[in-house]
Every structure is written in C-alpha cells, then in structure tokens.
Amino acid sequence: MKPPTRKHPSYDGRGVIVAIFDTGVDPGAAGLQETPDGKPKVLDILDGTGSGDVDISKCVEASGDYEIEGVHGNKLKLNPGWVNPSGKWYVGAKNAFELFPGGLKKRMTKERRKHWDREHQAAVARTTEAIAAAENGKGSKPASTDKADEDKGQAAQQTKLKKAELQSRLELLQGVGEKHDDAGPILDCVVWHDGTHNRVAIDTSDMHVPSPDDSPHKGKLQDFVPLTDFDIERQYGTFSAEDACNFGVHVYEDTEGKPSVLSIVVDAGSHGTHVAGITAAYHPADPTLNGIAPGAQLISCKIGDTRLGSMETQVGLSRALGAVLRHKAHLINMSYGEPTATPNAGRFIELASEIVNKHGVIFVSSAGNAGPALSTVGAPGGTSSAILSIGAYVSPAMAAASHSVRGSMAEGQQYTWSSRGPTDDGDAGVTLSAPGGAIAPVPQWTQQSRQLMNGTSMASPNACGGVALLLSGLQAAGLPTSPAKVRRALENTCAQVSTASDADLTYGCGLMQVDKAFEYAEAHEGPGTPDVRYAIRAGA
C-alpha cells in the first residue's frame, strides 16, 4: 500500500508559539532542542509560583584573592575570569531539596543516605577496632619516651580515659546513625552584572556524592559556567551528574535596579515535559517520535508549585498569562484542573477570557479525568466558555498497542475516565476530543528519555498541537486566525464518533480533524466574513 500523500509539509507549526501551563518543561529533554527550521524549541522557562526564588539582596565585595563571604558566612572562591565592572556581588542560598520535585528528592535522599551509611559504618568500624586495640594493650604509647621515668599508674589512667573516650564516641556514632535525617544539600548562589546582563553562578559542590576519582573542586563555584536569564541566551545548567536535574534562571531587580530575587527554574514533575513533547517535540533522526507540531516553539510557564506538591496557584496562573502577552504566544495549553462549584466564574476565568477575547490567544485545556458520569468536567477547561475543552479518545489500534487490549474494538471510543458534560450552568462541557495517550519525552532527572502517559492531560496537548498546525497553515496562506474563527472551523469539521444520545456530552463535537478544519477555514473566508462570538443566556 502506498503511504498517504503529505500536504503542506511546511505547515508543521512553524511561526506558532505555544505556552505550556504546567509543572514546567525540562529544556534538556529529548526532542525539545530545536525546530525543523533550526530555531530554538524552548524560548523561555519561567516559574510563576515563586517556589524557586532565592533572596539575593545581600551585597558583598571580593577580597584581593577573589574570595567573597556567602550569605551564611562561608568563604566562596570566585573565578578571576568573571567580568564585574561594579565589583558588587549579590549572594544568597537555597536548599536543593526545596527545588526538587518529589520523585527526584526521594531518589537523591536515598542515594545520599547510601553514601552517608558507608561513611558512618566505616567510622563505627574504626572506633570499634580502636577500642579492641586499647583493651588488648595495643593502644598508643604514653607521650614520654623515657622508660626510666614512665609512671605506669599514669599510663594505666591514660589508657582508661582513652577507652572511655572511644566508648563515648562509639555510642555517639550509633545514636547518630539511628536519628540521621538529611536536610539536603545547600546551593550557594552569586549574582553580578557583567556590564551587559546579570550573571548567575551556583556552588553545587554539596550536590555531588563523593567518589575516589572526584576532583576536590568538583561543583565548586569558581568552575560554574555562568548563566543569564533563559530567554536571553537559552542556556541551562545541571546541578550534578547524580541528579541530572536541568534548570534555568531569571534575575529580578528591585525598584532601584539592584538584583533582588534569583529564580531557579526547576520543573515540579514530569507532567509538563510530557505535555510539551506531545505538542511539539522534534526528533530529526527519528520523525516517528515527533510531536503533533514539530515546527512550533514553546514557552514553559510553571504554574505547579513544588512546595504544594505541584498544585497550581492563582499567582502562578496570573504570572503565566502575563508571560503569554510578553512573548506574544498564539496558543496556551493547560493540562490542569479540578472540580468547581462556580462554572465560568472567578478571577482567573476573567483573565483567561480577556486573553482570548481581547488579545486573540487560543486557550486549550483538558476536560478532566473524573468520568464516565455526567457533569464531571473540571475547571477551567470544561467549565469556561472561552477555553476549548478536550476529551480523551482511544482508537482500536491505540488500545491494542498502548494498553494491550486483547478483545477487538470495532471502533474508537472515549476513555471511560474522560469527563463528561454538561456543566452546572448548562454548557456542553466538552468542546471536542483528541487521542488521550502518548509516549513522549520526560525530564532527564527521571533517568528515562520518554514514557507512556494517559489522560485528558495528553488529549489537550494533542489537540493544541493540531491547532498549532492549523494556525501555521492559516498564517502561511495569509488567512486570519482569531479564536472565534478557529473554533468555528474546528467544531464544524470534527468526525462523528457516536450516535448515542449522550454523544455531545461525551465527545463534544467529535474527533478533531486538522485537515478538514483547514479546508473549512479556507472555504469560508472572504470579504465581509464575520468574526464574532455568541454568548447565550437563559432568561429568568
């Protein structure tokens, strides 16, 4: 059988910027480095939650031997090659465990405990051997070398005291072993201005689990390659080979223009990277691993607060919307949500509606995973009129390959757990459906390159990638791309999946079809074509 003909291969998402509202995206993850036309894939990574903030308001000056005092009074060696015309260094510190997502913290605590146990057991063994040697009379000789003047009684007393000291040491070591609690490694942070940009260096020496082959300077501040705000140079760092956790930075200044807060941007979980990969991953060596819109570029907006187990906050969401406007993003994907008693209401919904209806940004979100009962759609995706709510669909081939379904499925269907409408105020709740599972990239700290995940969290970026393809094609064809027109094209071209009485509440308009939506947009665009949206309310 001949492979299908590809139409418009350059309509691959290029020219489209997608903001990922999620746990954060690992810029070092597989497929998230560049686009097919050589542009950087990830334009910026931001932490809207403040979970990675470091107070760097303390200013110090260096001594003649390039040494400064850290925020805790410790000495830090600077690299003589670092350019700092002002001579002012701003210092702060952060516990790395406060930055790490739960899974990574658990793994690193375990690895550090193994090293600590080895060192502790060695110290216990040395002390036990010393006690045995003292009891056998093989302890250290008295300080005097004049045997004629040696006081045997004094020597015996010294031996007794030595044994008591060793026994106390052993008891202390045993007690510490039972009560040991790793507070986590400390990261000393230094910020300065090189005359052009703020620069950041971090001492990561406390992150490294020592080994006999290690350099004594491993991870020291002076060896760190300085970073600046991610959106300027798009460079990121890695704390250590053991954790493999990539991070970016942003420096925020006070009203006087002095560095005040350093934001160390670390993802709060693997979810956001997976979502980003579904939307726009690009693998030049193996295109079968590509996301839906490999030509699109991404902005990572971390809305999941690490301190709250990756739960989103109003502050994080508001800052993320601000980033969308600053970067002139065309699309938002938010694979987050929870139940609500107040559909289509609240401050975030007001802001989301404004960014769609006033600024022309298309907002895509997951419907929720609380099905199959009716009225289970979550907020904001399923309960907000300005947002496209996406349900999760599974095809027979996908069910067999991804879920090892043994029985034959005659046709595709919605995942049983995909949330259904209607909303409490009467809206359908689900706009349309898209595939709800994917094998996609995950952060490097997971020690995997990709992983299978399922949920409306995966259906939403699948649909978002499809919208990116549609926008890319419309832009190239010189056609308008307002949220109302794109929504109309999508809703009028979905493939009908079921004729059941509850189909509209389950699938929305049906299964998304990008090619048909593009053809519809082309055919229905012309002079005088209205660009309007309708809001219908029931009377009292």
Sequence letter at residue 349: I
The yes-or-no answer on residue 286 being catalytic is no
Cis preceding linkage at 422, omega within 30? yes
Cβ–Cβ < 8 Å for 76, 221:
yes
With a CB cutoff of 8 Å and minimum separation 6, the contacts of 451 are: 270, 274, 439, 440, 442
The one catalytic residue in 271, 274, 283, 330 is 271
H or E, element range at 300:
strand 297-302
Token digits of residue 197? 């940009």
Q: Strands, E, within 88-185: which ranges? A: 89-95
Cis peptide before 85 (omega within 30 of 0): no
Q: How far is CA 317 from the centre of its chain?
A: 15
Please state, in angstroms and rounded to a whole number, the distance separating the CA atoms of residues 387 and 464: 12
Considering the candidates 310, 457, 460, 472, report the single residue annotated as catalytic: 457
Question: Do you know the residue count of the chain?
Answer: 540
| Beta strand extents in 137-258 (DSSP E only) | 186-193, 198-203, 237-238, 246-253
Chain-centre distance of CA 384, in angstroms?
25
Q: Are 267 and 247 in contact (CB under 8 A)?
A: no
The yes-or-no answer on residue 457 being catalytic is yes
For residues 277 and 333, what is the distance between their CA atoms, to the nearest angstrom? 12
Which residues contact residue 95 at a Cβ distance below 8 angstroms, ignoring those fewer than 6 apart?
183, 184, 185, 186, 187
Q: How far apart are CA 23 and CA 156, in angstroms?
A: 66
* 327 token code pair: 């970067």
Closest C-alpha to 364, from 281, 433, 450: 433
Rounded Cα distance between 259 and 251, Å, is 7
Task: Specify whether the CB–CB gap between 301 and 21 falls below 8 A.
Answer: yes
Phi-psi region of 330 (alpha: psi -120 to 50; beta: other; left: phi over 0): alpha
* Residue 449 appears among annotated catalytic residues: no
Q: Let me know if 52 is exposed, middle or buried by CB neighbors in 10 A (0-12, 13-18, 19+).
A: buried
Q: Which positions are catalytic? A: 22, 271, 457
